[in-house]
Structure 1
Amino acid sequence: MMKILVTGFEPFDNEKINPAWEAVKKLPNNLEDIEVLKFQIPTAFINSYEVLFKLIDENQPDAVLCIGQAGGRFDFTIERIAINIDDARIPDNNGFQPVDKPIFSDGENGLFSTLPIKAMVAELNKNNIPASVSNTAGTFVCNHIMYALLYYIKKHNLNIRGGFIHVPYIREQIINKKSTPYMELSTIVEALKISIKTIQKYKKDISVSGGLEF
């Protein structure tokens, strides 16, 4: 049985909920023949990867999928790359606001997801869920945790695949945000299920265009 560790962040930036964690906690413990391990991690630069590394060591998963909120995006976005920089627009939940700081001094400039990101997008679109490959995970804690995850896997030569997904706001978050895109929570949960099953199904990604013109 495949074991996948899935994380979602706690709320931040004055939000009362985070759709990432709201969706993750609704996932079943077992999805067909996949064991799903669900954990909330802090929206804090240093604490987030300390918690994640401990979870990886304790649970020995086959894959790690981290989920975060991207308010303003309208679709389910599978991240391609994380960059070795923290450049925070706002403080994290511990009040820490790094600017132009490398995540790991001995790390590469960028690290790519090792998940079948294009197959995931294809499967989601096939199920009428808007999804795309994203080429920027930002420079806040989402990019930070994705980079830290891939760095840890590579540094310790772990036989683990890893990556990150950004999800939009959910309906409850946009009451006072006119014209802000959102996605139903039930759709995000279904999209995560499809993504997890795709990770199991595809050991190698498909070769299709996922690029943008801008």
Structure 2
Amino acid sequence: MEKTNKNLIIVTGFGPFGSFEAVNPSWEAVKLLPDNLEFNKKQYKIEKLEVAVEYAAVDKSVEEIWSRNPILVIHCGVNSGTSCISVEKLAYNNYFVGKDVAGCTLQNDSACLKNNKNERIYTGLDVNKIVKTIEKCHCKSAEAAALSSGNPGNYLCGYIYLKSLDINQNRSLFLHVPEIDQPYTSQEVSDMILNIVQECVRQIEENGV
């Protein structure tokens, strides 16, 4: 792989699907992120990408994203069963049984990976520190604003995370966001994602990965 683009951050959200056919909360939050970030006296460019809820679209997007060698890639998806941001620690390569929005499934219910044969791949980022960062800044009630999670799901959320982790687990992360106004607005979720971006960049720069 070529030298890392130290100034490029890419954040993705998913397009419409299922009960979120009109609006996907993940993309609504991601698209509100600023185009540029100044952090620790360095300038970063944040590119936002909407990914269709299709296995083929994920394959193409992940390949194109990593061909540009960004310093950080964060994927976001919606989880209607949560009221906070779930910071995912890992992804599993099994049980991708659901049809995507194009009606396609994966052969053998698993992903074709280039670099890993393991059934699970963990992010190299410190999820606990990421969660603590959000709790300090965004807790608006007795309920947590962010939690660590080990269940990215067996649909496109888990799939896109697995594909990125296979390429670079030290610079990949997945976030599940709640539905809009449950209890956070899209702007509030976007602000939390931005704080997560900052913490991830801090970790990557500190660890030199």
Range of TM-score over shorter length: 0.7 to 0.9
CA shift digits 1:160-193 (9 cap, x unpaired): 611111001103xxxxxxxxx4432121011011
The 1-side partners of 2:126 and 2:31 are apart by 23
Residue 23 of structure 1 is aligned with which of 24, 29, 46? 29
Matched residue, 2:149: 134
**What pairs with 1:1-214 in structure 2 (closer than 5 Å)?**
2-15=7-20, 16-32=22-38, 33-57=43-67, 59-89=68-98, 91-98=99-106, 101-104=109-112, 107-129=117-139, 130-153=145-168, 161-171=171-181, 181-203=182-204
User: Unmatched 5+ residue regions in structure 1?
Assistant: 155-159, 172-180, 206-214
Q: How many residues align?
A: 189
Matched residue, 1:212: none
CA shift, 1:100, in A, is 6.1
Q: Percent identity?
A: 23
User: Unmatched 5+ residue regions in structure 2?
Assistant: 1-5, 140-144
User: Contact (CA 8 Å) 1:124, 1:131: kept in 2 or not?
Assistant: yes
| Alpha-carbon RMSD | 2.1
The 2-side partners of 1:185 and 1:145 are apart by 22
The 1-side partners of 2:154 and 2:196 are apart by 24
TM-score, normalised relative to structure 1 = 0.81
AA paired with 2:184?
M
Matched residue, 1:175: none
The 1-side partners of 2:97 and 2:188 are apart by 29
The 1-side partners of 2:154 and 2:56 are apart by 14
CA shift digits 1:125-156 (9 cap, x unpaired): 001331010011010000000001111337xx
Secondary structure of the corresponding residue to residue 63 of structure 1:
strand
User: Contact (CA 8 Å) 1:26, 1:189: kept in 2 or not?
Assistant: yes
AA paired with 1:66?
H
Distance 1:135 1:199, change over 3 A: same
The 2-side partners of 1:112 and 1:127 are apart by 26
The 1-side partners of 2:104 and 2:96 are apart by 11
